[in-house]
Amino acid sequence: MNTFQALRKAWSEFLGLFVEDGSLALGIVAVVAVAAILSALAISPVAVGVVLLLGCLGVLVENVLRARRNTSRRPPSR
Amino acid sequence: MSNWATVAPAITSAFLASVVEVVEAFTILLAVASVRGARPAVTGTLAGLLLLAAIVLVFGPAIDRVPIGLLQFSVGVLLLLFGLRWLRKAVLRAAGIIAQHDEEAVYRMESLHLQDELRRRAARADWLAGLTAFKAVVVEGLEVVFIVIAVGAGRGLLVPASLGALAACMLVLGFGALVHRPLARVPENALKFGVGVMLSSFGVFWSGEGLGVPWPGEDIAVLGFIATFLALGLALVAVLRSRTAELAR
């Protein structure tokens, strides 16, 4: 492994900090996008806040429960 | 205007997250030092720290030029991506659905991998060992830099957050130098759970601020988000554990 490869690997690991489970990242981006659209449409800022908070909580619950269902069908992994 | 409601969680999350990252980097540095000696480990570490310092010096001043709303929104979204990822993993680990992180196992694997590489390329042994140390410092260090910027930039708390991270580095490295073995007893998952809760809470807060949401109680709202994410995370662990126990019966 040379320096360039090491830097490239470090960079890809850094990107992996934010996107490990694609569906979780997509869910978060979707929630934020909906909140941003509501904000741009001048919908009540309180509604924007509610969408952000409940959306993120919902994305977490859905993702964790789905991971549970998926792993019950295969052996435990790291 | 910052108050304790944002300062304390910012310092705490920078400190706890940095503990997790520095423990991980220390395990790899220790493996390098045990396989090839202290010199490549120290050289790789110093080179990694120099690169991190250069990144901070180049990108740090640019943060001041970004409009505050855009900065808060961008940092908030990145915090959500980062924090919810940590929280998800910590919940799944606490519930026994995925395996716990094991510093002893990482140390053994890293040592074996490095020994194998060194055997195949004996002429470049020190270089490879130094590069392994360099990569560990850069990867884990970038996480620390990101966390400090993310929790500190939105309210001008970069200095307190940096001090939190620095305290974590000194604590872990000092303790590590003393015991001279992987810090396997650090409750890594509990720390990740706590940091995931705090970063997710900051993520909701900052992205909302960036979109002009008037959070009730202003900065105090962060504490409400922390309580909400914590309660939800613990509830998810309890539900998943009970379902796992039911399936086991």
User: Residues A42-73: pLDDT tens digits?
Assistant: 888 899 999 999 999 999 999 999 888 877 66
DSSP state at residue B98: B
CA-based nearest residue to A14, from B246, B183, B48, B188? B48
Tell me how far apart the alpha carbons of residues A35 and B194 are, in angstroms, rounded to a whole number: 26
Asked if pLDDT for residue A78 goes beyond 60, the answer is: no
pTM of the predicted model as reported, rounded to 2 decimal places: 0.76
Window 76-95 of B, Cβ < 8 Å to A: 77-78, 80-82, 84-85, 87-89, 91-92, 95
Backbone phi, then psi, for B31, in 5-degree steps?
Answer: -60, -45
* Nearest chain B alpha carbon to A48: B213
Tell me how far apart the alpha carbons of residues B4 and B193 are, in angstroms, rounded to a whole number: 22
Choose between B114 and B43: higher pLDDT.
B43
Nearest chain B Cα distance for residue A34, angstroms: 11
Q: Residues A21-54, buried b or exposed e (16+ Cβ, 10 A)?
A: eeebbebbeebbeebbebbeeeeebeebbebbbe
| pLDDT at residue A18, rounded to an integer | 66
| pLDDT at residue B123, rounded to an integer | 60
Q: For the purposes of burial, counting CB atoms within 10 Å of the CB of B125, is it exposed (0-12), middle (13-18) or buried (19 or more)?
A: middle
Residue corresponding to tokens 């001008």 = B156
Q: Which amino acid is at A20?
A: E
CA-based nearest residue to B173, from B54, B40, B21, B8? B21
Instruction: Please give the helix or strand (H or E) that residue B222 lies within, else none.
Output: helix B221-248
Asked if pLDDT for residue B192 goes beyond 80, the answer is: yes
Average pLDDT across chain A, whole number: 82
Cα dihedral: B217, B220, B225, B227 (round 10):
-120
Asked if pLDDT for residue B201 goes beyond 80, the answer is: yes
Asked if pLDDT for residue B32 goes beyond 80, the answer is: yes
Label residue B55 by pLDDT band (50, 70, 90).
confident
CA-based nearest residue to B148, from B48, B4, B16, B1? B16
- Least confident interval from A19-23, A37-41, A71-75: A71-75
Nearest chain B Cα distance for residue A52, angstroms: 6
Residues of A with Cβ-Cβ distance to B215 under 8 angstroms:
49
Q: Which two tokens stand for residue B48?
A: 């990694």
Contact B204 A13 (CB under 8 A): no
Residues of B with Cβ-Cβ distance to A64 under 8 angstroms:
88, 91-92, 236, 240
Tell me how far apart the alpha carbons of residues B236 and A66 are, in angstroms, rounded to a whole number: 12
Asked if pLDDT for residue A17 goes beyond 70, the answer is: no
Asked if pLDDT for residue A75 goes beyond 70, the answer is: no
**High-pLDDT (> 70) share of chain B, %:** 91
- Least confident interval from A20-29, A51-60, B5-14, B206-215: B5-14
When CB atoms are compared, the residue of B77, B139, B225 closest to A13 is B139
| pLDDT at residue A74, rounded to an integer | 59
Q: Residues B38-48, buried b or exposed e (16+ Cβ, 10 A)?
A: eebbebbbebb
| pLDDT at residue B219, rounded to an integer | 80
B234 touches chain A (CB under 8 A): no
Label residue A3 by pLDDT band (50, 70, 90).
low
pLDDT tens string B82-96? 899 999 999 999 988
Contact A68 B240 (CB under 8 A): yes
CA atoms within 13 A on the CB side of A6: 20
- Tell me the three state secondary structure of residue B123: helix
Tell me how far apart the alpha carbons of residues B72 and B79 are, in angstroms, rounded to a whole number: 10
- Tell me the three state secondary structure of residue A77: strand
Label residue B1 by pLDDT band (50, 70, 90).
very low
Asked if pLDDT for residue B6 goes beyond 80, the answer is: no
B204 touches chain A (CB under 8 A): yes
pLDDT tens string B113-151? 777 777 766 666 677 888 888 888 888 888 888 888 887
Average pLDDT across chain B, whole number: 83
Asked if pLDDT for residue A76 goes beyond 60, the answer is: no
Tell me how far apart the alpha carbons of residues B193 and B199 are, in angstroms, rounded to a whole number: 10
